[in-house]
Structure 1
Amino acid sequence: MKIFHKVIILLVIAAVPLQSCGYSNENKNMKNLDQDSTLVLLKAVSEKNIKLVEKILASKPNLEITDNKGRTALMIATYNADGEIAKMLISAGADVNAQDDLLNSPHLYEGASGNLSILNMSLAHGAKFDIYNRYGGTALIPAAEKRHLEVVKILTEIPDYPIDHINKLGWTALLEAIILGATGETQVAIVKVLVDAGANVNIADKDGVTPLQHAKSRGMDKIVKLLMAANAL
């Protein structure tokens, strides 16, 4: 009987590490499964496969994993101008302030592209205004340059939005609207929105040239009148 008991004990002891290894492998497989589902999510978003994205989101994957360009699933949807998938991702908890390798976030990128749908969603879910694009600028600065009038209106209506933020080039949104913006009625309207919103019309560039001086040198007569009416120097 003693021998029999010893045999049983030895068999139990031997089985323990086997059970432990099995549990470890199971955990590893689960991690791999989670990782794979998240990578599939990036591909599904890239391909605009809404049904697959919806199915993957039901498994609650890591929404902040990035591709080789530092883009989250939400940033990929933003580049695709895919408002429907972007909405799904944001509703699932995707970080609207995650920046990719180019330092774009959804709200920053939409300043340059003008997609109002994704811009509004990111603003409604906590977009931060103290993170900047690769030029050290806010979303308002490229919006003012690229004639996205509606974007400029939306951003300047936000209380405490940094309208006079200066980027690495030494330009505010007003300066960039004048220096790089195309001449025309839309640009005049953008400058008017900025001025009416309280933009400082006398912040000069790195060379000390003011918005008024730039407008005069570019022959922007209507903008010159707007700036002079706002006591520009």
Structure 2
Amino acid sequence: METAGEVGIKRPDPPVVGKVNHHSIELYWDINNVYKRIGPSNKWFRFSIEEEDVKTHMYGTVYSGYSMKHVVEGLDSSTSYRFRLKVTGHNGEYAYSPVVTVSTTREPMTGEHLHRAVNMNDEDAVLKILQSGHVKVDIPDKLGFSPLMIAAQRGYFRIVQLLIDHGADMNKENGSGKNSLILACFAGHLDVVEYLRQQGASWESRDKGGCTAMHSAVDGGNVKLIEWMISDGCEVDSRDSGSKWTPLMRVSAVTGNTHVARRLIAAGADVNVKDKDGKTPLMVAALNNHERLVRLLIEKGADCSITNEYGIGIAEMAKAFNRQNMVVILEDMKKEIL
């Protein structure tokens, strides 16, 4: 029996398509063993897989050798590709197969796709990804934020609804222990906070530093949100687990926001509460140079005679930290009170 190489190169069948996914296509050929390996290797038929360039319609070689299978990798998803098989004999004669067209599959949805859609506030894309069933709704990003945390922090109300409708866990925490409610409170998104509360989010949740949603809200400074939180029963004098600061203490230490302080005091915040070092909101506000807040606290009953755990009072503290302006305010306020 004569081999194909002895009578010229027979036109090969097109490559057979094997496994296909979103980035690779498996091709194999000569399933009927037409091009047998007879004699020394320099007499064997050589196979090449060529791919057509969609722009130039020229063919380029993606594989050349003696194997009868090749996986073409690094392809784009949902894209059509055209391949042909070239068989070359030892004498240089060759023949091409008909072209085979095959398309890669759609790229499977991943957590990265979901996070990208949430960050872009793309409701349609988020819904499509969630309905695909391939991505877990609470999958975290590289920073440990779930999609719901991101949506709550950015105030994407409809995205928050979609995620919760698909089972997102409101109690899930990031690396610092902050959940979606705490993040939304800091960012000041009242509509999101209201919705999370309606869905069962608790005011009792705390981050790893023991700070509550109210601590977070006063840092953010949204007075309207804080008023609503108070009306909804959120505690105004909860303490963190480190410095034992209440929300009013955080205002005194961080922002000095008198509008926020007024709301807290009106809701019953203790103006003479002490932290773990025995400092009061007045002392902390004075040391942080919040003049208007110092005046407000004294007006609201802050006791200037209280000392810390070392027996040091506010006037002495102010002088020690070169807060001469605070010394003047304290003396002026004392005269006004007298």
Corresponding residue for residue 129 of structure 1: 203
Cα distance per residue 1:196-223 (max 9 Å; x no partner): 2222333212221222344466432123
Contact kept, 8 Å, 1:216 with 1:224, in 2: the verdict is: no
Cα distance per residue 1:133-189 (max 9 Å; x no partner): 243201211322342212211221223x3322211232100111122223xxxx323
Q: Are positions 1:53 and 2:126 aligned together?
A: yes
Contact kept, 8 Å, 1:97 with 1:127, in 2: the verdict is: yes
**What is the aligned-residue identity percentage?**
26
Corresponding residue for residue 204 of structure 1: 274
Give 2:162's aligned amino acid. Answer: M
Higher share of residues assigned helix: 1
Give 1:198's aligned amino acid. Answer: G
Q: Are positions 1:165 and 2:235 aligned together?
A: no
Cα distance per residue 1:71-123 (max 9 Å; x no partner): 22212223433222122212333222211223221211122221222222212
**Alignment map for 1:27-106 (pairs within 5 Å):** 36-37=108-109, 39=111, 40-59=113-132, 62-106=136-180
Unaligned runs of 5+ in 1: 1-35
TM-score, normalised relative to structure 2: 0.50
Larger of the two Rg values belongs to structure: 2
Give the distance between the partners of 2:124 and 2:162, measured in 1 at CA.
11
Give the distance between the partners of 1:172 and 1:222, measured in 2 at CA.
17
Give the distance between the partners of 1:41 and 1:213, measured in 2 at CA.
47
Corresponding residue for residue 147 of structure 1: 221
Give the distance between the partners of 1:127 and 1:194, measured in 2 at CA.
22
Give 2:227's aligned amino acid. Answer: K
Give the distance between the partners of 1:53 and 1:65, measured in 2 at CA.
13
Give the distance between the partners of 1:80 and 1:194, measured in 2 at CA.
25
Contact kept, 8 Å, 1:38 with 1:63, in 2: the verdict is: no
Cα distance per residue 1:41-87 (max 9 Å; x no partner): 23322333221112233345532222232222212223433222122
Give the distance between the partners of 2:219 and 2:300, measured in 1 at CA.
17
| Change in 2 beyond 3 A, CA 1:45/1:170 | same
Give 2:297's aligned amino acid. Answer: I
Give 1:41's aligned amino acid. Answer: L
After the TM superposition, which of the residue ranges 69-78 and 171-180 deviates more from structure 2?
69-78
SS at match of 1:58: helix
Equivalent residues, number = 192
TM-score, normalised relative to structure 1: 0.71
Give 1:57's aligned amino acid. Answer: L
Higher share of residues assigned strand: 2
Give 2:180's aligned amino acid. Answer: P
Give the distance between the partners of 2:121 and 2:286, measured in 1 at CA.
47
- Cα RMSD of the aligned pairs, angstroms, is 2.7
Corresponding residue for residue 27 of structure 1: none
SS at match of 2:140: coil
Give 1:51's aligned amino acid. Answer: D
Give the distance between the partners of 2:285 and 2:140, measured in 1 at CA.
43
Give the distance between the partners of 1:198 and 1:221, measured in 2 at CA.
18
